[in-house]
Amino acid sequence: MVDLSVTLAGVTLKNPVIPASGTFGYGREFAEAYDLDLLGSFSWKGTTAAPREGNPQPRIAETAAGMLNAVGLQNPGLDAVLREEVPNIAKLFHGPVIANVCGFSLEEYAENCRRLEEADQAAILEINISCPNVHAGGKNFGSDPQSAAAVTRAVRGATKKPVFMKLSPNVTDIAEIARACADEGADGLCLINTLLGMRIDLNTRRPLIANRTGGLSGPAVFPVALRMVWDVYEAVDLPIIGCGGVASAEDAAEMMLAGASAVEVGAANLRDPFACKKIIESLPAVCERLGVERIADLTGGAHEGRAKG
């Protein structure tokens, strides 16, 4: 029997499949489709200190091999999440949860992490550094090593929970940013966030998304995400959650061979609510085909002399 369990910075998951933040809400809707306890974990919706309505409509557009979104971090705010969503999550899912933390200043990131100390089920804090820094002209925190390091340092000093920095692919050298996060005490990394893109309506001759640009996700980004996971695995000795276009058990295995210890599934959940369930159910057969009894043995297996068990 194949052992599907994996460990992320001391947190054990029953399998490596994690619905990605922004595609799973706080679990309510998906719990109506299947038993969430099948999952390794899930990353809840990106949460800010104050409630946000998000960007104006339209903010979703289809592409040939994925989708663009500019939702704009719509969420009920941390107070409501701690008061309403966290107790409800405890009823729907009985494993460790990943809390996706967003912020528009170093102080907000740190305070959000400090307040999440009281949420016992939030076992890992996933820090979204693709947020715009309001004190630096709107430049994203993840756009350069210094900014990424500053956020890592701020959150590391605010919580005892493992912190995984979620990296943006819209950079020149993602490995350099990964090293900056590692140097400031990150416990792990999650990559990639969405790639910046846009579409234009031929009839109106205007961008399809009101915000003009949006984040590209889905199968189109998988090769980019895979390459970046490979590069970061070579650069740092931290557990990696691979994210970007994962839509099958084979994709998950490939991402793990590149260096991921677990995978997040994003856009596939929007196309098929049962995507994660199907991936988990297919993983044992893929592992048997690959000749491994422990799925964790796949991590880094494509790197000569660098595989970590």
As annotated, the active-site residues are 131
Strand order in the sheet with 66-69: 60-63, 66-69, 214-217, 195-197
Contacts of 90 (CB under 8 A, 6+ apart): 121
Neighbours of 294 (CB within 10 A): 14
Asked whether 126 and 21 are in contact (CB, 8 A), the reply is: yes
Maximum C-alpha span of the chain: 57
Strands 163-166 and 188-191 turn out to be parallel
d(C-alpha 309, C-alpha 302), whole Å: 13
Rounded CA-CA distance 290/157 in Å is 41
Write b or e for each residue in 52-85: b if 16 or more Cβ atoms lie within 10 A of its Cβ, otherwise e: beebeeebebebeebbbbbbbbebbebeebbeeb
**Residue 91 in 3-state DSSP?**
helix
Q: Report the phi/psi class of residue 42: left, alpha or beta, with left for phi > 0 and alpha for psi in -120 to 50.
A: beta
Instruction: Tell me which DSSP letter residue 243 carries.
Output: E
